[in-house]
Structure 1
Amino acid sequence: MPGGRPRAFDADNALDRALEVFWRHGYEGTSLADLTAAMGINKPSLYAVFGNKEQLFGKVLARYLEGPGAYAADALAAPTGREVIERLIRGAVDLTAGETTPHGCLCVNSVHACGPDAHAVRQDAIAVRKAGEAALRRRLEQADDLPSRYEPAALAALVHTISDGLAVQAAAGRSPDELRQIGELALCALLTEGPHHIE
């Protein structure tokens, strides 16, 4: 057949379905059978278009960062340091406790729930998180409206730790209302002026 056989599926839609499966079940909890069923393709088509499971996950991770996880990069463009942090923590709640998406965070799940056989996938997720934290640190270094007690590197690490905790709590079944309350308490603690001494 001239030009080859036309592709019988929408690759972008198939990638979105793979994202949902990985997000819901984690890398190691997702089988090729789960993926092909959700994506509506067979194994040869999966390999031909997306590569093996590890390569497919890399594509899914990029799509996650450009789609559901894009709030994090967008937050860095906020005009003040306080607003950056507010958007990040509130965005983490919205992402991890969404009504139409799996609970938890794809990156957090991939860092904490991958064994030795998935070392490369875990390292990719760790690299993504380190890059995000470094970008936040650089943005906070430019801010002049945050409590003076914070070093930008420590504050960036703290914000990421809070976001991770929200994701874990969401995956464990905390309700969206509970997570929003936790997020607002965290923001109040982070952004309120006054002495905060660690002995």
Structure 2
Amino acid sequence: MKAGRHRSFDKDIALEQAMEVFWRNGYPGTSLSDLTTAMGINKPSLYSAFGNKENLYKSALEKYVEKHGVIHGKYLFSADKLLTDRVQDYLISIAEMVTDPKLPSGCFVCISTSEIGGTCIPKDAVQAILKINAATKSFLIEAFSNEAMKSSVNSGRSPSVMACFVISLQFGLAVMARNGASFSELKEVIMFSTAQL
């Protein structure tokens, strides 16, 4: 019996390449040919390693969150800074990422979220996007709830509303970056928008 053939590509590198294609083009704008060309593999290899386009997309979203999403959260927990400064640092970190010329512009999760209103994304992938957004909201609610317990925020401000406010800013920054806004422009928006936190 012959031994199975080993893959001649690095699965993790291929996944990052696929992530950037989906990030740049969106799910409906990305063809299998776009993916195989970027990943340097053929369709049978793609199916063997990732299953299908939808599974690859979900894996790409997970990779994005792992590499470009959760890294910003650390700025909310700088013990030596006021809450307003920490939120600004958090959003500035996001602004730097969404305007990084080495990456596709904007935010992959934001782009994906904007596409779920129609029927162009399969149901399982929609659920994956909603789960990511719910996790972000829960993380922010927890962060602001902790601040409320320490009396760092106005007791009349709901942690849930504050979380939604920050998510709205995140998505707005990503859309502006996608539309060509510079980092300096986004920073001005951040400083203006968060001044009253």
TM-score (norm 1): 0.87
Q: CA deviation at 1:2?
A: 4.9
**Structure 1 residue identity aligned to 2:146:** Q
Please give the secondary structure, in 2, of the residue aligned with 1:30. coil
Is residue 173 of structure 2 the alignment partner of residue 146 of structure 1?
A: no
Output the CA distance in 2 between the equivalents of 1:78 and 1:116.
41
Aligned match of 1:179: 186
Structure 1: unaligned runs, 5 residues or longer: 192-199
Is residue 162 of structure 2 the alignment partner of residue 155 of structure 1?
A: yes
Output the CA distance in 2 between the equivalents of 1:178 and 1:172.
12
1:87-142 deviation line (CA, Å, top 9, x unaligned): 32112211211121111111111111243141422332122111111111011111
**Superposition RMSD on alpha carbons, in Å?**
1.8
Confirm or deny: 8 A CA contact 1:76 1:139 kept in the other structure: yes
1:55-98 deviation line (CA, Å, top 9, x unaligned): 00111111111101122443454336435422321122112111
Output the CA distance in 2 between the equivalents of 1:66 and 1:18.
15
Output the CA distance in 2 between the equivalents of 1:76 and 1:38.
35
Is residue 138 of structure 2 the alignment partner of residue 129 of structure 1?
A: no
**Structure 2 residue identity aligned to 1:140:** F
Aligned match of 1:6: 6
Output the CA distance in 2 between the equivalents of 1:56 and 1:12.
12
Confirm or deny: 8 A CA contact 1:81 1:139 kept in the other structure: no
- 80-89 or 4-13: bigger deviation: 80-89
TM-score (norm 2): 0.88
Where does 1:81-92 land on structure 2 (aligned, <5 Å)?
81-92=83-94
Output the CA distance in 2 between the equivalents of 1:77 and 1:34.
40
Output the CA distance in 2 between the equivalents of 1:2 and 1:11.
23
Aligned match of 1:108: 110
